[in-house]
Structure formats: structure tokens, C-alpha cells
Amino acid sequence: MTEQDAIRMTNEVFIDSFEIPKDKLAPQANIFNDLGLDSLDIVDLVVALQKKFGIMIRSDERVRNIRTLGDIYQFILVIKKELEK
Amino acid sequence: MQLRRVVITGLGAITPLGNDVATLISGIESGKSAVEHIPEWENYIGMRCTVAAPAHIENEKLIPRQNRRSMGRLSIFAVQAAEQAIKDAGIKSGSLTGGKLGCVMGSTMGSAESIAEAFEIMGTGKDLSKLSATKFFQCVSHTAAMNVAQYLGITGYVLATSAACASALQAIGTGFDLIRLGKQDIMLCGGAEGLHPTVVGSFDVLYATSSNYNKEPKKTPRPFDSKRDGLVCGEGSGVLVLEDYEMARNRGAKIYAEIIGYNSCGNGSHVSESNHEAIVFCIQEALKSAGITFKDIDYINAHATATIQGDKEEANAIRHIFGDSVPVSSLKGYIGHTLGASGAIELIASLIMMQKGKIYPTLNLEDPDKECSGIQHVMKPVNKKINILLKNCFAFGGINAVLICKSTRP
């Protein structure tokens, strides 16, 4: 998976599941303060990312460190790399 | 303790005939049926009934996503009807959060569509991690009440009545009690229901649904008719604003009617077979609570869903108390049986009848069944001044509810 794929597919999740306008989806956007997600949304974000990327991250402690959209892009790439090993 | 007087000052409705009160009424006035054939239901093995009265979700994106995410189909109907009712009553947004405005919303259960989706994910051997965090809030029995309260910022009482087809009338009766006891000043009360094959199927296995008119959907349901063959499910929501009379009068609110009597009771005999003795008791207790007699009633809006047994028992009870002295009609022929919403939607239409001095007939009633005879069936529009009306609702589980409203116009 390329970085561009991770960005595009993650952005699709934010557009489809959270109805965030495309122009707000910048890597530095804080998913809570800038994009308006809350604790319930984080559960649904995990569900949506798992489905989109075919991964299991529900019990992954690293999810707790995610703050920005860029953090998600990088996290997805790391997970995908781990799966390739 | 002096009980307070309670009046109705706002109405809102999402119905199979249209998404506001005016469209509902114009549909009824033109004798329109919202019942249609649902071809997809033919794919359900064993489903006899393939007709229904669907409502149509419109403008749901106007509800902010973080409110909407906890709403299944019925809650979207509920909040839209509630918004209409608040607007109609002229309630200012500041009153919603003062702790003296509450809501009681009923439904048969949580959103059937959401429950079906949840169980698709939660079955044994399936992957629970695919379940959305907000699905729970769509599935719970108090989903309509919770969502209306959250969406509008209501901080008073938030209650959910769950008594199948009597849910909405129980909600209105509960709101009435809370205001007259002085616990709340204003209550948003009503019910909501979402159409889904699992709901229809539940009635279908009991042979309670209509199945002879799948190719002629407009001819069913047929309340009180000799050729009736069961109920037709509908959906939507009705919400009424109930208010302390003095408060409504002081703010110059438009008043539709005063609620003067209410009763609810169990039949103590059977979960699915209604019986006229319990209905008689419920009506008599409601009349007693209003301090009036049967002679004071000008119109009865019947529950009459077009089941063989239910209509017979209701007609029997009405005959026992009123004989053929009071006009009786059912609105199920127009909008189907909107179940947990029916008490509110049909009461709203009845209040408009009171306002207009016009009684709408029972659609599809062509030949009153002998077993439903001896009462004054309304088979064409009747002009009549309605001073006091009585609304019936009866539910599976053997639960009855009766509400009485009086015009405040001279």
C-alpha cells in the first residue's frame, strides 16, 4: 500500500462515515478539535478503518495516541507493513 | 391538591400520507390511501402480507450528524415531528432547557431496522468488532424519547412508554398526569414507529395481517368491514405539545383542546385477544376521570385496525356504552396501523376534525360487519360540532388506553 492509497482511503472514511468536507482533510487536522469527532466517533472510526483496510486495530494501544489525520495515515502504513512481514 | 388543567398547544406529524399535519389532513380529506404493495417482502418465505403504508424520510441531513448517528428510522421521524410541534406551539428554545419541559415518547420497540442490522453482526461466530458504537442507541426501547430530548436539549422528565400500539396514547396520558400534578409545565408527547419486515412478520405469524389484498393494496385495511382480513403496518411519528393551561393562556398560545380524561388498563386475560369487558372498563374509567358521561362524547376515534377479533371487541364495547348515539371512525384505512405512533397521529387528526367541525369517515368501510354493528359508523364525511372526543388505543399484551379531549372554543 502506498502512502497516497492510505491518505485517499482514510479520507474516504472521514467523508463517508463522518460527513467531513474534503477541504478540511489536511494531515495536520486534529480529529477532535478540527474535525469534531468525539469518544463515540472514535469507536466508529476504528470500525470503519478496520473495514476499509481489512485490519484489526480494536485492541491496539497505539490507537490512543492518534491525534491528527496525519497520525492515522502513518498508523495505517505501519500496520500494513507489519502485516506484510 | 388542586390539579392543573392541561391543554394541547402544538402538533407535529410524519406520516405515510405526508410529512406534516397539513398534508396528512389533505390526504385524509381527499380519501387517499397510503397503502402500497412492497415487492421485496415477497422474498421473505412464509410472509403472507406484502402491503404496507410507508412514510418517507426527507431532509434528515438537516439533523446534525452527531445527533443523527444515534437515530434509527423511527427516531428521525420522532425528532422531525417534535420540531414541528415545538414550532407550531411557539415554544421558545430557552424553555426547552429549564427543567420544567420534558418529553414522553413511545414506540413498540427500538428501531427494527437497526435491531435487525445489529443482530446480523452480533450472531454467534460473527465479528462483534464490526458493530458501530451508536447502534445501541438506535436499538434501545427509549430511542425516540432519548433522541428527541438530546436533539432539542430537553432537561425535564424524559420517559419512554413501550406498550405496542398503545405506546403513544400512554405517552400523552403520562404527560397529562405530569403536568396536572405540577411536576412539569410543558411536555412533548407522542410516539414513533419504523416499518420493517421483521415487525410485519411478527403480526403475520399471528394471522393478524391483511393478506387478501396484496394485489389491490388500496382496498385494505378495512376497519369494521365484513371483508376485513387484518391490519396493515404503517410508520411515522406524531408529537403533541401539552402545556399547563394557565401558562398557555398567559403566553397567548393557540389551544387545540384541553385533555380532560385518561385511563389505561390491562385486560388481565390474554396477550393477543382483546376483550370488550376490559375496553368497556377503560372507557368508563376515562369518562369518570373527565367527570362526564357517555352522553357528552361527540365523536369516537376508534383503534379499529381491521383485525377480525379486535374490531369486533371494540365495536361491542362501544355499543355497550354508547349504543349508536356517537359517530365512530377509524383512520387506519388511510395510513395503515402506525403502531407505536398511531395514538398520537390519529389524535392529531381527530383534533383537526374538532377544529374543522368535520368527521372523516372510515376508509374502505363499505359493508359494516354484522359483528361490528349497532354503532354509528361514519362512512362518508360528516359535518358536526365536536365539543368532546374520545380516542381509543389497544395493544398486544392486553393493554388499553383511552384519552378524552374537550374543545376550549365557545
Number of H helices, E strands in chain B: 14, 15
The set of cell numbers assigned to A37 is 469527532
- Counting other chains too, the contacts that A39-44 makes at CB distance below 8 Å and 24 or more residues apart are A40/B69, A40/B133, A40/B134, A41/B66, A41/B69, A41/B133, A43/B132, A43/B133, A44/A17, A44/A18, A44/B69, A44/B132, A44/B133, A44/B134
pLDDT for B338? 98
First to last CA, chain A: 13
pLDDT for B274? 83
pLDDT for B93? 75
Taking the whole predicted model, whether its pTM rises above 0.90 is answered as yes
pLDDT for A84? 85
Does the structure show a pLDDT above 80 at B410? Answer: no
- Residue to test with chain B: of A47, A50, A52, A57, most B Cβ within 10 A: A47
Under 8 Å CB pairs connecting chains A and B tally to: 27
Active site residue B320: no
Q: Which of chain B's residues have a Cβ under 8 Å away from the Cβ of A36?
A: 66
**The dihedral sign for the CA sequence B68, B176, B327, B274:** positive
Does the structure show a pLDDT above 90 at B271? Answer: no
Does the structure show a pLDDT above 80 at B182? Answer: yes
Of A43, A50, A56, Cβ closest to residue B133: A43
Give the residue, B396 or B38, on which the prediction is more confident.
B38
Catalytic residue among B49, B337, B372, B377: B337
Q: Where are the domains of chain A?
A: 3-84
pLDDT 10s digits, B339-368:
999 999 999 999 999 999 999 999 999 999
pLDDT for B129? 87
pLDDT 10s digits, B206-236:
999 999 999 999 999 999 999 999 999 999 9
As a whole number, the mean pLDDT across chain B is: 96
Of B13-27, B119-133, B221-235, B251-265, the poorest mean pLDDT is in: B119-133
pLDDT band at B273 (very low <50, low <70, confident <90, very high): confident
Q: Does domain A3-84 have CATH number 3.40.50.2300?
A: no
Residues 116-135 of B with CB under 8 A from A: 129-134
ipTM: 0.88
Is B66 within 8 Å of A36 when comparing Cβ atoms?
yes
> Residue B117: is it exposed, middle or buried by C-beta count within 10 angstroms (0-12/13-18/19+)?
middle
Q: Which of chain A's residues have a Cβ under 8 Å away from the Cβ of B131?
A: 47
Does the structure show a pLDDT above 90 at B50? Answer: yes
pLDDT for B171? 98
pLDDT for B268? 86
Strand ranges (E), B179-289: 186-193, 236-244, 257-266
pLDDT 10s digits, A9-63:
999 999 999 999 999 999 999 999 999 999 999 999 999 999 999 999 999 999 9
pLDDT 10s digits, B141-150:
999 999 999 9
pLDDT band at B394 (very low <50, low <70, confident <90, very high): very high
pLDDT band at B65 (very low <50, low <70, confident <90, very high): very high
Closest-CA distance, A26 to chain B, in angstroms, reads 20
pLDDT for B92? 85
Closest-CA distance, A44 to chain B, in angstroms, reads 5
pLDDT band at B387 (very low <50, low <70, confident <90, very high): very high
Does the structure show a pLDDT above 90 at B118? Answer: yes
**Domains detected in chain B:** 6-250 (3.40.47.10), 262-406 (3.40.47.10)
B66/A contact by beta carbon, under 8 A: yes
Does the structure show a pLDDT above 80 at B299? Answer: yes
- Secondary element (H or E) of residue B83: helix B73-89
* A36 to chain B: closest CA residue: B66
pLDDT for B119? 92
Does the structure show a pLDDT above 80 at B1? Answer: no
Average pLDDT over residues B377-386: 98
pLDDT band at B97 (very low <50, low <70, confident <90, very high): confident
The set of cell numbers assigned to B15 is 406520516
pLDDT for A1? 87
Is A50 within 8 Å of B129 when comparing Cβ atoms?
yes
